[in-house]
Amino acid sequence: MTVQQALAPRQPDAKLGTIIKLAVMAVGGQGGGVLTNWIEAVARAQGYACQATSVAGVAQRTGATIYYIEMAPMGARAPVFSLAPAAGDVDILIAAEMMEAGRAIMRGFVTPDRTTLIASTHRALAVSEKMAPGDGIASSEEVRAAAELAADRLVLFDMDDMAAANGSVISSSLFGALAGSGALPFPRAAFEDAIRASGKGVEASLRAFGAAYERAQNGAAEPAGAGEKPVRAVTNTPHGPQRLLEKWEALASRARALPGPVPAMALHGLRKVVGFQDVEYGAEYMDRLEGIAALDDAAQGHELSLEAAKYIANAMAYDDVIRVADLKTRAARFARIRAEMGAGDRPVALTEFMHPRAEEIAGLLPAGIGARIEASPKWMARLDRWFNRGRRVRTHRPGSFLMLYVLGGLRGYRRRTLRHRHEQAHLDRWLTAVRQAVARDYVLGVELLRCRRLIKGYSDTHARGLSKFDRVMQGAEMLRGREDAAQWVARLREAALQDEKGEALEGALQTVRSFV
Amino acid sequence: MAERSFKREVEHLRMGAGESFTGEGILAITKALLENGVGYVGGYQGAPISHLMDVLADAEGLLGELGVRFEANASEAAAAAMLAASVHYPIRGAVTFKGSVGVNVASDALANLASSGVNGGALIIVGEDYGEGSSIMQERSHAFAMKSQFWLLDPRPNLPSIVKAVGDGFELSEASNTPVMLMVRIRSCHVTGSFDCRDNQRPPLTVREALSNPQRDFSRVVLPPMSYRHEQDKIDNRWPAAEKFIRDKGLNEVFGPDTARIGIVCQGGMYNGVIRALQRLGLADIHGDSEVPIYCLNVTYPLVQGEFEAFADGKDGVLVVEEGQPEFIEQGLSTVLLRAGSKVRLHGKDMLPMAGEYTGQVMLDGITAFLREHAPGLLPGQVRAPNEPAPEIPDLSQTVPIRPPGFCTGCPERPIFAAMKLVEEELGTHQITGDIGCHLFASLPPFEIGGSTMGYGLGPASNAAFDGGGERRAISFLGDGGFWHNGLSSSIGNMVFNQSDSVAVIVDNYYSAATGGQDVLSSRAANPTKTTQQPIAAALRGVGVKWVRQIDHTYDVGKMRDTIREALTTEVTGPKVIVASSECMLNRQRREKPLRNAAIKGGSRVEVPRFGVDADICTGDHACIRLSGCPSLSLKRLDDPLRDDPIAHIDQSCVGCGNCGEVADAAVLCPSFYRADVVHNPKGVERWWQALSARFIGWLQARRAARRLEFPEVAQ
């Protein structure tokens, strides 16, 4: 088809290249509006025509929100600016959170030919990430990898942490990173003037701005996910009376004698069970672990022993009333809370939220009596009447503290409780199943060990976890003898961690039932 | 008190001729109203024009000086009805609300207003909530202009154009005796820029003065036979007058060369997007000077036939850029061409998508498709035959989680829905309807409560089919904003009259919170220019609700749960209404935080509460999050290889609302939560007693530590 030439093509206007297009992607409530105002103020003060737009509305209520700015040197006539960013046409993208950087990349706002991506690596987790009964946190690493490919230039560090460290909020450090990146043709002083002119929290804002400016200038990027740095670490070197330290050392050398990579994990496990009960309990742990390790296979990288070291410890250090009371009354906890709350030397009043049920009370009784009471609905109802209500325990008060302290001191008696009997029986059944599995199918044995992850929480949550664990173990029973049994058990476990009620698990079990 | 204060910006509204105003579109509109001698203003808040209402409220002093009456109307219908003042009196009036939902509510009054016709200029400023960031169903306000025959302005999205449209709108309204709607899109409302000011004008006739000399004109009443005449008048007189005015005053604009074989017709609001696409194709320069002729419709209804015919004359193809559906403008222009027997090929929704926002990419694709069809030589070589493959960027769609809006940190509505979830765990799932407002976030995870929202104040009304009762009662949620907007009559009155057996929960956070914290009748704070502190419960009893429960502290999850359970199970007949009241935390913090900081600085004793989670006790099952979703309740990883799953963690932003502890207790979750109250400036006895207690506790702790092995932690 011949098409008549309607108009002659011409060279694009060179001045179009002078328009700087900048988008800010933030989580509602992060101060994206303040940042936008600052950027506008700098641009106008530097003789630029500037236009900003935003989409406020309810998206601001913790949802993803976007601000957009265009600027160009002021001429005799005003430029025509766009009101929204377009894919492939953004020069500077500021992401106030790591997943928002990912969202910007997904939307095509970050392209290798032009975009400077300035992103904070910290995470503000979305509800969907937090809700999962397992680990639903999205991978910052994947976003980082994509950012490295997608961006022309990358300024990436934890700007939230930097702002907090300087007593300010993230808009200041984002602004500093923008200035330090050199992506805008304005001097540092112009940015600082904009902060000063806004007149609120100026000193703190300037401090955070300066820190981020330096950091962006130096260009050193930090690993993604640094924003998820762990709260604290625990050492495996105990303090305590000499007599106990010697016993610990004996156990530790047993742990160190385990093959391959196992000792490190075994020491962690040992620390947990000894901390939970005492060194004798540690010896029981080592007995169990060595029993499993004897079945291990070096060719498989000692995976069985590794998982056993981890999950046997978790199973032995179950969450009972005594443990909770003990943990709540430790000096280290009090110090930690003071530090977290920034209390300094001010008094801190503590309120614990506890809600014991008949099950917890019965579990605390000597095994014989406890079992009889547990079997009697009448007695259980009575216990509920006496104990089952929310209790606010003010642990900073001597009386309340003493109550919990005494409860926490019942460790010597714990082995005689009903709860301990239940836990031991459950542990033995589980390890027996593991041993039987290993005899035929090593990987299945490993997977069965890992299923212990399903048991967590208190009260109903704990019961639900137990029931999921039982159902997966039953599923394993159905799969006995199949070559893909281990794979299926892993799948069942992952399904069980997906939702609270175990609907995904039920679906997976249906599938298993359909083919066995 | 609105969430954002415009007190500082309001001073700019005093600017006069020779000064240049720089700021947001919304403020520019307010300034333009004053420059055009408006006599009264009103409206109802809602994104994206909430700020317009906030500015007007903050500017009441200035408005008073100029003799301008400001009403924060009870609803959009009330706002539109207020324009009745311009029917008989030569007074300019302007009201504002959001489109399309606000226009829906106002449509009765708008239709009557349009039928009557006006003497004074009547301007309806609509914030069209369409596209990205919109919180409502995606529809166009355009249809209302067509059905009621009032005129629709859609100016180019820059401050001088928007400001000019305000003046044009009043004049057009007066020239054609027809109300005029000025439509501004989300981004236009918040767009920043500058314009040259004129002096503010006192209205030639103020509403106070008009009251001294009442006027009425029987021919403007919407009753037969006048209503028949109104319809004829619209067609015979008002429409031609409008067309003439639009043409004579050049309200629509033509850009680009006079002679070309192709052209683009666009809504004014789409102009910048069109120019950007042309800029990217090398067909427009930075100032918007285009190689392709553009007919820019700053008035999108009515269409001016002669103007369009002149533009289309001699062209092979014309592209209509019209956002949203159906394609009213394209249909109108097609009819013009068809009747004229024109050979011009009209494109629009065949090259641009029928539905959805016209983003940068959509616009570029559509205009490229149009040029490829009619003028391929114009396209840059790269577009004609792209040779460089785009780099392969990993797909993040499975990685990046969606982030819908949700309840703020410390929101008093969270515990209401946590309680509701607990009740449902006990009694089973219920038929639940929601309403408009923050509480609608409960329909999202983690709560997933409520399945429908039929309109503002219509939550209980939308359960009416189930009001007869059954095995389990129906429940509806309604906000305090919705209650006063429409809910008292349409929902509660309806329940009483029909002897409903259902349950309604009124979520009272003391403000119209979702729209930015404007005051309503039941707001607790005194407002110098409005009447507040009118209890909802009294209104309920007044219309005949017998079973009313007032809860003044929604954070008491146990009480909340028991009250909902009681409402669902009581033998009492008739509607059961729970008023769950606690102040919006955003507003509360904004008010209280500065006071608290000042008190601490001033040496007064202040307790600052915050919640925490014991990392060793939390097992990482996240049950608490499934009953909360609070932004400050998040997850952290522990540096402990024995732990698989991240644990709950409460960050600095916690405001100590108490929901975490209450939920942990009411749902019997776990003992990990604690509240720490840091006592600032403790007094003598307290300090002494605290020190003594701490010594006793420390002694006990040291005693036990000495008798067992302890593993010290290292903070990181």
Interchain CB distance below 8 Å, A351 and B361:
no
Interchain CB distance below 8 Å, B709 and A145:
no
B358 min Cα distance to partner chain A (Å): 10
Chain A residue numbers with beta carbons less than 8 Å from the beta carbon of B48 are: 56-57
Contact status of A106 with chain B (Cβ, < 8 Å): yes
Q: Distance between CA A447 and CA A484 in Å, rounded?
A: 12
Which helix (H) or strand (E) segment holds residue B210: the answer is: helix B207-211
A97 min Cα distance to partner chain B (Å): 11
CATH of domain B252-382: 3.40.50.920
Interchain CB distance below 8 Å, B286 and A340:
no
Q: Distance between CA A180 and CA A198 in Å, rounded?
A: 20
The pLDDT of A39-63, averaged and rounded, is 86
Burial class, A329, CB count within 10 angstroms (exposed 0-12 / middle 13-18 / buried 19+): buried
Q: Are B241 and B176 in contact (CB under 8 A)?
A: yes
B714 min Cα distance to partner chain A (Å): 5
Q: Quick one: which of B478, B537, B481 has its CA closest to B511? A: B481
Contact status of B580 with chain A (Cβ, < 8 Å): no
Geometric angle at alpha carbon B24, from B19 and B27, rounded to 5°: 70
B105's tokens: 């509510």
- Four-point Cα dihedral B344, B346, B347, B349, nearest 10: -170
| Residue among B377, B662, B680 whose CB faces A5 most closely | B377
The domain locations on chain B are 7-248, 252-382, 414-587, 605-705
On the question of pLDDT at A57 being above 80, the answer is no
Scan residues 57-116 of B and list those with Cβ closer than 8 Å to A.
none
Q: Distance between CA A315 and CA B268 in Å, rounded?
A: 68
Interchain CB distance below 8 Å, B286 and A229:
no
Q: Are B185 and B157 in contact (CB under 8 A)?
A: yes
Handedness of CA A296, A302, A303, A308 (dihedral sign): positive
On the question of pLDDT at A422 being above 70, the answer is yes
Instruction: Determine the angle formed by the axes of helices A442-450 and A418-440, rounding to 10 degrees.
Output: 160
Q: Distance between CA A78 and CA B608 in Å, rounded?
A: 52
The confidence band for A131, taking pLDDT boundaries of 50, 70 and 90, is very high
How many alpha carbons fall within 13 Å on the CB side of residue A138? 28
Q: What do you get for the CA distance between the two ends of chain B, in Å? A: 43
Q: What do you get for the CA distance between the two ends of chain A, in Å? A: 64
Contact status of A103 with chain B (Cβ, < 8 Å): yes
Q: Which fold has domain B414-587?
A: Rossmann fold (3.40.50)
- In chain B (716 residues long), the average pLDDT of successive 10-residue segments reads 81 95 94 98 94 92 96 97 97 97 97 97 97 91 98 98 98 98 95 97 97 93 96 98 98 95 98 97 95 98 97 97 98 97 97 96 97 91 65 89 91 97 96 94 92 93 96 96 97 98 97 92 93 97 98 97 98 97 94 94 96 94 92 92 94 93 91 96 93 96 94 71
- Mutate: best of A400, A458, A494, A500, partner B, most B CBs <10 A: A458
Count CB-CB contacts under 10 A for residue B428.
9
**Cα dist. B20→B15, B195, B198, B483 in Å?**
8, 6, 9, 42
Cis peptide before A85 (omega within 30 of 0): no
Q: In what order do the strands lie in the sheet with B503-508?
A: B432-433, B475-479, B503-508, B576-581, B547-551
The pLDDT of A40-65, averaged and rounded, is 86
Interchain CB distance below 8 Å, A456 and B619:
yes
The confidence band for A225, taking pLDDT boundaries of 50, 70 and 90, is very low
Contact status of B211 with chain A (Cβ, < 8 Å): no
Scan residues 605-644 of B and list those with Cβ closer than 8 Å to A.
607, 610, 612, 614-617, 619-623, 625-626, 629, 631, 633-642, 644
| Residue among B396, B705, B716 whose CB faces A331 most closely | B705
Burial class, B259, CB count within 10 angstroms (exposed 0-12 / middle 13-18 / buried 19+): exposed
Interchain CB distance below 8 Å, B378 and A7:
yes
Chain B residue numbers with beta carbons less than 8 Å from the beta carbon of A83 are: 157, 187-188, 191, 272-273
Q: Quick one: which of A271, A438, A86, A420 has its CA closest to B275? A: A86
Q: Supply the DSSP string of B545-582, one letter for each residue.
A: --EEEEES-TT-HHHHHHHHHHHHH----S-EEEEEE-
Cβ-proximal residues to A150 (8 Å cutoff; 6+ apart), any chain:
A105, A110, A111, A112, A115, A117, B391, B393
The confidence band for A226, taking pLDDT boundaries of 50, 70 and 90, is very low
Contact status of A347 with chain B (Cβ, < 8 Å): yes
| Residue among A4, A337, A353 whose CB faces B671 most closely | A353
Q: Are A382 and A346 in contact (CB under 8 A)?
A: no
The residue type of B88 is H
Cβ-proximal residues to B546 (8 Å cutoff; 6+ apart), any chain:
B572, B574
Task: Give the per-residue pLDDT at B672.
Answer: 95
The pLDDT of A330-350, averaged and rounded, is 94
The confidence band for A2, taking pLDDT boundaries of 50, 70 and 90, is very low
Taking CA atoms, what residue in B is nearest to A101?
Answer: B400
Scan residues 237-256 of A and list those with Cβ closer than 8 Å to B.
237-241, 244-245, 248
Q: Distance between CA B399 and CA B382 in Å, rounded?
A: 33
Q: Distance between CA B201 and CA B184 in Å, rounded?
A: 23
Contact status of B446 with chain A (Cβ, < 8 Å): yes
Task: Give the per-residue pLDDT at A274.
Answer: 97
Q: Distance between CA A363 and CA A322 in Å, rounded?
A: 11
Give the pairing of strands A232-234 and B262-267: unpaired
Range A17-228: architecture per CATH: 3-Layer(aba) Sandwich (3.40)
Correct CATH for B605-705 of 3.40.50, 3.30.450, 3.30.70, 2.70.98:
3.30.70
A161 min Cα distance to partner chain B (Å): 11
A516 min Cα distance to partner chain B (Å): 30
- Mutate: best of B709, B714, B716, partner A, most A CBs <10 A: B709
B81 min Cα distance to partner chain A (Å): 26
Dump strand ranges (E) for B210-260.
Answer: 253-255
**Cα dist. B466→A208, B279, B442 in Å?**
57, 57, 21
The confidence band for A408, taking pLDDT boundaries of 50, 70 and 90, is very high
Burial class, A164, CB count within 10 angstroms (exposed 0-12 / middle 13-18 / buried 19+): middle
Handedness of CA A425, A427, A430, A433 (dihedral sign): negative
Count CB-CB contacts under 10 A for residue B554.
27
Q: Distance between CA B30 and CA B52 in Å, rounded?
A: 7
Interchain CB distance below 8 Å, A324 and B446:
no
The pLDDT of A483-511, averaged and rounded, is 93
Residue B154: which region, alpha, beta or left (left: phi > 0; alpha: psi -120 to 50)? Answer: beta
Q: Distance between CA A286 and CA A334 in Å, rounded?
A: 32
Taking CA atoms, what residue in B is nearest to A329?
Answer: B701
Q: Does domain B7-248 have CATH number 3.40.50.80?
A: no
Q: Supply the DSSP string of B253-286, one letter for each residue.
A: EEES-SS-SEEEEEEGGGHHHHHHHHHHTTSB-T
The domain locations on chain A are 17-228, 242-316, 438-515
B296 min Cα distance to partner chain A (Å): 14
| Residue among B392, B621, B642 whose CB faces A314 most closely | B642
Contact status of A384 with chain B (Cβ, < 8 Å): no
Q: Are B53 and B80 in contact (CB under 8 A)?
A: no
Task: Give the per-residue pLDDT at B671.
Answer: 94
A45 min Cα distance to partner chain B (Å): 13
Phi first, then psi: what are they for B412, rounded to 5°?
Answer: -70, -10
Q: Distance between CA B581 and CA B584 in Å, rounded?
A: 9
Phi first, then psi: what are they for B69, rounded to 5°?
Answer: -90, 130
The residue type of B408 is C
Scan residues 107-146 of B and list those with Cβ closer than 8 Å to A.
129, 132-135
Cβ-proximal residues to B202 (8 Å cutoff; 6+ apart), any chain:
B37, B66, B67
Burial class, A342, CB count within 10 angstroms (exposed 0-12 / middle 13-18 / buried 19+): exposed
| Residue among B157, B273, B668 whose CB faces A460 most closely | B668
Chain B residue numbers with beta carbons less than 8 Å from the beta carbon of A11 are: 282
Interchain CB distance below 8 Å, B634 and A125:
yes
Interchain CB distance below 8 Å, A16 and B374:
no
DSSP at A300: G
Query: Is there a common fold for B414-587 and B605-705?
Result: no
B317 min Cα distance to partner chain A (Å): 10
Chain A residue numbers with beta carbons less than 8 Å from the beta carbon of B686 are: 347
Scan residues 6-35 of B and list those with Cβ closer than 8 Å to A.
22
Interchain CB distance below 8 Å, A456 and B698:
no
On the question of pLDDT at A233 being above 90, the answer is no
The pLDDT of A469-493, averaged and rounded, is 94
Taking CA atoms, what residue in A is nearest to B640?
Answer: A233
Burial class, A6, CB count within 10 angstroms (exposed 0-12 / middle 13-18 / buried 19+): buried
Contact status of A221 with chain B (Cβ, < 8 Å): no
On the question of pLDDT at A516 being above 90, the answer is no
